[in-house]
Structure 1
Amino acid sequence: MKVDLRGLQPNTMAWMNAMVAVTASMTAHGYVVVVHDALDAELRCALFGHALPELFGLPFDTKKRSGVFSNGPHGGYDGEVPNQILESIPILNPAEPGNIQDFVGRLWPQGNPGFCDTIESFAKNVLEMAQTVERMTLEGLGVCEESIAWQLSSQSHTIKMMLYGTPPDNAELSLADNEVISLGAHPDDQMTTVIVQHEVGGLEVKVDGGRWLAVPPEPGTLMFIGGDQLTLVTNGRVPACIHRVIAPPSGHERFSVLLSRRRKGDPMLRAMDELIDEDHPLMYNPCRHEDYRAFRLSEEGRRLREHNPLKVFCGVEKHGSVE
């Protein structure tokens, strides 16, 4: 489903109609495609035409200096695995003062104001959009304003800049419908993720019946998906979106940028009280995110990544085998 959020003001009929559409898509599929002016043509050109090619064009040893925080196995530059066709570079909390400048200083000691301005604008605009869509989803579920405000303020955010290359001839990668998978099917373990694609497609989501639906990289659209944290706090009302990425065609590179949000620190995650009642009994026991992430990275967690690993880990009626 595609929902136009441009120019909406809260407490208007247009906002209410969009909220209903967003909530319907999120509760049915765990994702919604939104039309939004977070990235106008000028910012999109600066991001994908200049900032990302400049970043990924840096020498390998320089890119390795980009990460200085710990966030699981992907806390810095990721692109060292033989035959890997994906490179990714994260920035933690880029909308907070000084974080982008610190990141740039590790890669360009002489400074790079153009890169800073581009990433700052992207982070600010897309973060506001992500909060709007999450707010709409929770409002549509009947969550009160006080709980929504706390939920939105309790999260940190990370942007991850990604480059998908063409797989080498000798790569041993998964195949799906005669296509090479460069990022396997999985739900995110965060709260939400916004995915911004550029020109070359590849993103697919799993929908009813287990079929895969391609999400084309249309200018002016952004993909908003729910992760396992959102499933838990909404007591299962919003399923985590299972998605994958098909490798770009031969001779093409594919850029994308993700903005992910998750609960700050490592608190106990639990379902919102307002979303538990006789019709919606508690589905998930409280759990800590880092414990769940460790499970997701285990052999069992990797095996279950398309089969509701959250339910296996902390479901009230836990099952030990894939259903």
Structure 2
Amino acid sequence: MTIPLINFAKLTSSDKSTQQQEIKRLDQACRDIGFFYLIDTDIDTALINRIMRAAQRFFAQPLQQKLAIDIKNSCNHRGYGAVGEEQLDEINKADWKETFDMALDLPSDHPLAARYPKMYGPNQNPSDPNVLETLHDYYVTAFGVAMKVLEAMAQALDLAPDFFTRCFKEHVTVLRMIHYPPRPEQTHDNGAGAHTDYGCITLLLQDEVGGLEVKHRNGEWVQATPMEGALVVNIGDLMQRWTNDEYTSTTHRVKASAADTHRYSFPFFVEPDYETQVACVPTCQSNTKPAKYAPILSGDWIQSRFDATYAYREQEA
């Protein structure tokens, strides 16, 4: 199995023939494996270098300084997560990584924060203004790329181009920074346990170290080798439900970093408005293939997955 390569410039080309050819390739990738490399995006080298430096500065801080914005102090899951806080593989050991999560920054008295306090509300921000500015710049740029990818997916499924993107007015899309520190001797090799992502799609920027592995349907684990300037994009569980399993949410994992090696990555979890009614899209069902999943609110689904993954949220639930 190889991970396909999709050209963003072609996907958004004004030349309809070029665009349609790339949309067909995108559609095939989403059906066959649910993973692809995305090249020639609007995320330029300068911004990539900035966010890599920002992550290094943030995670190099003393632990007590990072714990000032501990994610356990945030009811809406924003801020710093220490090593071992998350366990993506619900059976095996906790992940060997530390994280920082941010999303739309809404005041605590915002109507959505009042209605859904576990999903909306204020961020817990890094104290370094340069780090914060870089995160905001990356969030806005990556969101623009994600919306173009979702438009292409809608067209591939013979839907209106805005079928998915119209559900992103008050979205819960999350930008995460991850640091995989060196693995101590005699420690398990689980950087991030085997899992599928929860939302629509994920756009992953990774450094040159590598470690991401994708599970083929035959059980083989395939390396998603870093490619300079490229994003790794994958389908999430919510999109698989939405498309009646036409698009595949594929299991993946990250091996722990070797001794003296630090790895940084930046998943951008693209998740729609909480109250989005996720029901099987009309072009993915028929008399011979009825809808497999009952309709569900996007936010209810995402929240249930968070509660199963983080011990502190499970206790609250």
Shorter-chain TM range is 0.7 to 0.9
Structure 2 partner of 1:313 = none
Segments of 5+ residues of structure 1 without an aligned counterpart are 97-101, 174-179, 300-323
Segments of 5+ residues of structure 2 without an aligned counterpart are 86-93, 108-121, 310-317
Structure 2 partner of 1:17 = 21
Structure 1 partner of 2:98 = 87
1:54 partner SS: helix
Does the aligned pair in 2 maintain the 1:76–1:90 contact within 8 Å? yes
**Matches of 2:162 and 2:145, distance apart in 1:** 20
Matched ranges for 1:1-323 at <5 A: 1-6=4-9, 8-10=12-14, 12-48=16-52, 50-66=53-69, 67=71, 69-71=74-76, 75-81=78-84, 85-93=96-104, 106-108=125-127, 112=129, 114-153=130-169, 155-171=171-187, 173=188, 180-265=189-274, 268-288=277-297, 289-290=299-300, 293-294=303-304
> Relative to 1, partners in 2 of residues 1:84 and 1:226: Cα closer, same or farther, differing over 3 Å?
closer
User: Given residue 28 of structure 1, which amino acid in structure 2 is its aligned partner?
Assistant: D
**Matches of 2:100 and 2:308, distance apart in 1:** 23
Please list the CA deviations of residues 76-127 of structure 1 after superposition, one character each: whole Å capped at 9, or x if unmatched: 321153996300010112799xxxxx858x532xx52x32332222112211
- Return the offset for 1:129: 1.4
Does the aligned pair in 1 maintain the 2:96–2:181 contact within 8 Å? yes
Please list the CA deviations of residues 152-196 of structure 1 after superposition, one character each: whole Å capped at 9, or x if unmatched: 54633110000001221132x2xxxxxx22111111112211111
- Return the offset for 1:222: 0.3
> Relative to 1, partners in 2 of residues 1:95 and 1:210: Cα closer, same or farther, differing over 3 Å?
farther
Does the aligned pair in 2 maintain the 1:94–1:120 contact within 8 Å? no
* Number of residue pairs the alignment of both structures matches: 280
1:208 partner SS: coil
Does the aligned pair in 1 maintain the 2:54–2:134 contact within 8 Å? yes
1:256 partner SS: strand
User: Given residue 194 of structure 1, which amino acid in structure 2 is its aligned partner?
Assistant: L
Structure 1 partner of 2:115 = none
- Return the offset for 1:295: 6.5
**Matches of 1:95 and 1:238, distance apart in 2:** 32
User: Given residue 3 of structure 1, which amino acid in structure 2 is its aligned partner?
Assistant: I
Does the aligned pair in 1 maintain the 2:210–2:226 contact within 8 Å? yes
Query: Over the residues paired in the alignment, what is the CA RMSD in angstroms?
Result: 2.8
User: Given residue 70 of structure 1, which amino acid in structure 2 is its aligned partner?
Assistant: C
1:263 partner SS: coil
Does the aligned pair in 2 maintain the 1:38–1:122 contact within 8 Å? no
2:9 partner SS: coil
1:77 partner SS: strand
Does the aligned pair in 2 maintain the 1:228–1:240 contact within 8 Å? yes
**Matches of 2:226 and 2:126, distance apart in 1:** 29
**Matches of 2:237 and 2:32, distance apart in 1:** 15
**Matches of 1:24 and 1:135, distance apart in 2:** 16
Structure 2 partner of 1:177 = none
> Relative to 1, partners in 2 of residues 1:256 and 1:146: Cα closer, same or farther, differing over 3 Å?
closer
> Relative to 1, partners in 2 of residues 1:296 and 1:259: Cα closer, same or farther, differing over 3 Å?
closer
**Matches of 1:273 and 1:40, distance apart in 2:** 37
Does the aligned pair in 2 maintain the 1:89–1:160 contact within 8 Å? yes
Does the aligned pair in 1 maintain the 2:169–2:273 contact within 8 Å? no
Does the aligned pair in 2 maintain the 1:33–1:224 contact within 8 Å? yes
